[in-house]
Amino acid sequence: MKRFFAGLLCLLTMGACSLTLSGCTLKTGVDLMQLPKPNKDRQAISDELERVRSTDAVEDAPYEGENRNTVQMVDLDGDGVEEVVAFFRAPANGNTYEAVVLSKQSDESYTCVGRIQGTGVRIGQVSYPVVTEDGQRCILMSMDKAGDQGSHLIAADYSDSGIEVMLETDYISMLTVDLDSDGSQNVFLISGQENRRTATIYSYDEEDRDLTLMSESPLSASAKIISRLDSGYIADNQPAVFVEETVSGGSGQQTDLFVYQPEEGLRNLALSTENGTGRGTYRVVPANACDINGDGLTEIPRAVHMVGSMSDGSDAVYMLDWYLYDADGDPTYVETTYRNVSQEWDFRISQDWYDAVHAVKGSQDGTDYTTFEVYAADGKSIPLLTIYYILGDESEINARVEASDELFALDATDSGVFVAQIPAEADNSSLKLTEEQVHERFSLIAVDWSASQS
């Protein structure tokens, strides 16, 4: 073992020596919401904005989200011609903000057709969800409030008549999602105070050109902080919203699960009607609901002790049992994984490993590792697999791994490489895995940047 770690240390050192910082580019917005490119259009837009913006107003871009340019181009009415939405703070040192909307005319000029005004510490985010089958979009502009007071939503409609505000309301978190499966986006909001929060869903009424309330449903009373909203599908491809929450009086998290059906409205499938708390979705391990097995459906995890780990203290070791819910709120077991939270990877646990294998984490010579062992109460465990995370240059590490008879590479991040070893002692167990099986069971945790964090 000392010889092996000496080799790892050498490998790590060489990787660190050759490590260089590589830049990354984060693209924001979608293709149809870019700055105007033709010089003629750009000048016409600039002239009109200079004419119509408030005195002393200065450009001020949205703070977060996909659309963070001060001037954005988007086809609001689905006619193939892009409108202009520009953002300002007016006056320049005040707390009043506005979005100015310009429409292109037949003579190639641009004319202001309306504006949206709001107050707050800044424009939080802006989005343009498609709300009709023919491509009509509405404008959602959120204003961030001071401290932890949440946000204020202004929803506006664009038409030949100009800009009309359809809805203004305070909220905590927001997501646009086609929850009623009609091909257009709904607005899903969470609002209210701690322990009394409500989820609300709105849809666009084409005839009245308005956002109308469809339904609402309470969150679990135990929900403390909303950490994430995401959309997905449960059994039978039923659209759903997954609300990740920290829990009052606890260190773990839970998931509230919302679906909409015309006859029943918006329902929280995870809500216990007896005490108002989350039903079966609480876990001490931080793990969001996700499509764990790649079938296009979203599963929710539950934490369970690994064999040999019975306490709930800092030394407890957990696995995650993943469940798929149906529209009646009934869960079906899908699979089990071990999750390394700090290194962000999962390892699928088969049924023959489930009650026999536990995980041990450690570090030696600067290299972190996780070893899966056949558990033995007398301490004579049999090691089956060790996964190392080696920091450094990927090509240098891979070259060393390929030259080794003991190691094989699993996957890589920007910072290093995950490397595995099947020790010789594993030959003494029927639970030994092949390299192919290790590759099949190991996966990095994918980060979905499109999910709402507001």
What tens digit of pLDDT does each residue of 362-373 get?
998 889 999 999
- In 128-172, DSSP assigns E strands to 138-144, 151-159, 162-171
Q: Are 359 and 306 in contact (CB under 8 A)?
A: yes
**Tokens, residue 9:** 């240390």
Q: Which of 8-12, 160-164, 168-172, 190-194 has the lowest mean pLDDT?
A: 8-12
Which band of pLDDT confidence, cut at 50, 70 and 90, is reported for residue 350? Answer: very high
Give domain 34-169's CATH architecture: Beta Barrel (2.40)
Give, rounded to a whole angstrom, the gap between the first and last alpha carbons of the chain: 48
Measure the CA–CA gap between 161 and 430, rounded to whole angstroms.
Answer: 74
Q: How far is CA 357 from CA 318, 377, 437, in A?
A: 11, 12, 16
Domain boundaries, the chain: 34-169, 355-444
Average pLDDT across the chain, whole number: 88
**Are the C-beta atoms of residues 414 and 359 closer than 8 Å to each other?**
no
Provide CB contacts within 8 A for 441, sequence distance 6+. Answer: 347, 348, 349, 350, 433
Question: Which token pair is 91?
Answer: 């006056």
Residue 118 pLDDT:
96
pLDDT confidence of residue 36: 54
User: Mind listing the pLDDT tens digit for each residue in 241-272?
Assistant: 999 999 877 778 999 999 999 999 999 999 86
Question: How sure is the predictor about 21, in pLDDT bands with cuts at 50, 70 and 90?
Answer: very low
Instruction: Give the pLDDT of residue 449.
Output: 53
